[in-house]
Structure 1
Amino acid sequence: MTKIAFQSAADSDSRENLEKTLLNPVVLSELESIRGTGIAEELANIYPGDMARVGAVKQGKEGEQKAEWEKLQRGDVVLFMRDDMVFLSGIVTYLVKNPDLARELWGDDERGHTPECVYFVDEVKDQFIPCSTINRMMGLEETYPWPGFQVHLEDVSAPVVYGYQLESHVYFPIVSEDEYKEIVQEIDRTRPLDTKGWSRLRKEDGFLRDQLFRGKVVEECGICGNKYPTQFLIAAHIKDRWHCTTEDRLDYQNIAMPICKLGCEELYRRNYVTVIDERVAVTKARVDSKDLKSILVRLQGRVCPWFKGSRKYFDWHTRLGKYF
């Protein structure tokens, strides 16, 4: 599940760095310290628009802030605080300890130190949340004195993450194949989801995204065929997630396909379209909108490249619609 990191922006150095690289995005291709490196390539996949927002923390006197930074992973939330108020949030996309990059972005402070524990973020949003409210939700004293940078683990963070809808639907934790198989077999579809259950679902979704996109910047929607940056696509279960057996879910090579969030996700989920014998088919669902009808006409008959190996899951979806 998602962790929360709290970062103070109370002193002048923190506010200046925040203004430089987080409130104002940096141009990745202009960063000389990472040019021609694997870091630049990985960031180009995450940020195809060449613009990214960046934050960082210093190691701390005893390395305590570095230890907190090392707890972060892709998909975690960073909350920025000032004057006892959370005023900004962002989703962690990439982490790197790189003094040269940090120095290029922020330079050294008056003591010759630079915040070299760097993290990149996306989905940056304005917030207006009193720290006292967050403290209560996390079971802390209302006047808990937040340090400069601190990470709280999943169970403690959950009320804030879900209460303020902070979780990303694009960036997920990195999950290995073995962990995915373990997660799938632990999910009990007959019981209401608790914190651990939501965490498992999130990791399942993250694994499926990684398998479908494999670091690609752009991928094709399985329904409309348009190619979009992967941020505009979801890893959709071809057969409804809650009807999948454990065996279905373990068949991760075939159970999911990319679907765009620009309309096709809703059309497929609401059974306006399905896939029969490799081609998109429009159902007999009632359509009262001329604009929607024109979209469906364009989708009818186009080839779905994700059909091979997934026929039984598409057949299940077609039978569910009962429109043929």
Structure 2
Amino acid sequence: MTRIAYQPCSDPDSQKNLIASIHTPVSLEHLSKFLSDADMTVLHAKYPEGKAYVWGVTPNQNALPAWDQLSEGDISIFNIKTLFSIAGVVTHKTRNKDLATNLWGWKDKNASYTWECLYFLDQVTRISVPYGIAMDGSSSQPKMAFNLLNESNSEIVLDNMDIGSLIAGAWSTPDISTVRSEIEDDTESVDGSTETPTRKEHRYIVNHIFGTRTEAECSMCGRMFPRGYLVAAHIKKRSRCTLKEKKDIENIATPMCAFGCDTLFENGFISVNDSGNVMTHPYKIEHDAIFDYVRKIEGNSCPAFTEKTKNYFKWHRKEHGFEAI
């Protein structure tokens, strides 16, 4: 289970360190001057492009036990003045005072004290989640010290922040029978009218569509985007789905980019015809900028169009008046 590493980062030293090694990744060539061959073998495998994001904590009595337990695959979230602004996946850790002082200097030179408990990150992503929202429901409420949340609290925070929609592998995939049972229970409790997927349903759909990929193709425009700029979009509006359709979670959604296609599809400016090609609404588009965008993607083959999804696309066309003329 992925755990959350809480990283406070509001004081001036932390702000400086962010610029030095998170906003600006460090070259492996530079790191090799300080790290062992074993460390570099790992880093070269993890960072084939030759640059790595580096962070470190001081070996004090509060931070060191948490750092000792930190593992590959955990997710570090950076609290910058009560707002979580950065998240990244832990790939490796090592302790090295010389590298820490080279990157960031001394926390306390007289005490020979620095951020020597290093860890490395991948999939570094900009986020914007207030502390109160992220930590709502967690029994652990860390503030000033580096902390590693237990699995139960990590699951709560992951759901609150919806990080699994941005970072590959953040969520474990729930069992499909459990998901369908949760959908049935949710449908009974709200008379089947809710538009919001259940917690496990959302996880399953996201993991089913994206898996551990860090980038994927938008099913409308066909362009590749980083995971954080794609959404798992319902083809048929969830609140209009029957119980059977809601439980068809392998086919009900498709990846769409946040740079236009998700909004255009949601508002009925584009759809997919019975041949599996992107089509433009016959009369709805009146603005030149929207027309210019959809004209570029009209006719694209939609990889999400299959025998199992064609009726969902048919519903979408009918709902938005594509077949009215």
User: TM-score under structure 1 normalisation?
Assistant: 0.66
For each residue in 1:198-251, what CA deviation from the matched residue of structure 2 results, as whole angstroms up to 9, or x when unmatched? 8953x5445434333344454322112223333332222222233345544554
Kept in 2, the 8 Å contact 1:99–1:116? The answer is yes
How many percent identity over aligned positions?
Answer: 19
The CA deviation at 1:115 is 0.9
Q: Match for residue 312 of structure 1? A: 311
Q: Measure, in 2, the Cα distance between the counterparts of 1:156 and 1:312.
A: 35
Q: Measure, in 1, the Cα distance between the counterparts of 2:222 and 2:255.
A: 10
Kept in 1, the 8 Å contact 2:210–2:216? The answer is yes
The CA deviation at 1:71 is 12
Amino acid at match of 1:314: F
Q: How does 1:110-259 map to 2 (within 5 A)?
A: 110=112, 114-120=116-122, 122-124=124-126, 146-150=143-147, 153=153, 168=163, 169-171=165-167, 174-179=170-175, 181-187=177-183, 188-189=186-187, 200-201=198-199, 204-245=201-242, 247-259=244-256
Counterpart check, 1:24 vs 2:19: no
Kept in 1, the 8 Å contact 2:10–2:79? The answer is no
Q: Match for residue 94 of structure 2? A: 99
For each residue in 1:44-89, what CA deviation from the matched residue of structure 2 results, as whole angstroms up to 9, or x when unmatched? 6xxx8x7664434356548532377569944x63204xxxx44773
Instruction: State the number of aligned residues.
Output: 294
Kept in 1, the 8 Å contact 2:278–2:298? The answer is yes
The CA deviation at 1:259 is 1.1
Amino acid at match of 2:225: Y
Amino acid at match of 2:147: Q
Q: Match for residue 89 of structure 1? A: 85
The CA deviation at 1:145 is 9.1
Change (3 A) 1:51 1:231: farther
Counterpart check, 1:65 vs 2:66: yes
For each residue in 1:265-321, what CA deviation from the matched residue of structure 2 results, as whole angstroms up to 9, or x when unmatched? 111111111112211122235222123223333333221122123222222222322
Q: How does 1:286-301 map to 2 (within 5 A)?
A: 286-301=284-299
Change (3 A) 1:181 1:69: farther
Tell me, what secondary structure is at the counterpart of 2:259?
coil
Amino acid at match of 1:99: T
Structure 1 unaligned spans of 5+: none
User: TM-score under structure 2 normalisation?
Assistant: 0.66
Amino acid at match of 2:216: E
Q: Measure, in 1, the Cα distance between the counterparts of 2:297 and 2:210.
A: 23
Counterpart check, 1:323 vs 2:322: yes
> How well do the aligned residues superpose, as a CA RMSD in angstroms?
4.7
Q: Measure, in 1, the Cα distance between the counterparts of 2:148 and 2:196.
A: 20
For each residue in 1:122-158, what CA deviation from the matched residue of structure 2 results, as whole angstroms up to 9, or x when unmatched? 334799x8x9x99x98899xxx994421356369969
Q: Measure, in 1, the Cα distance between the counterparts of 2:272 and 2:253.
A: 13
Q: Measure, in 2, the Cα distance between the counterparts of 1:220 and 1:172.
A: 14
Change (3 A) 1:252 1:290: same
Q: How does 1:37-56 map to 2 (within 5 A)?
A: 37=42, 53-56=53-56
Counterpart check, 1:283 vs 2:281: yes
Kept in 2, the 8 Å contact 1:4–1:157? The answer is no
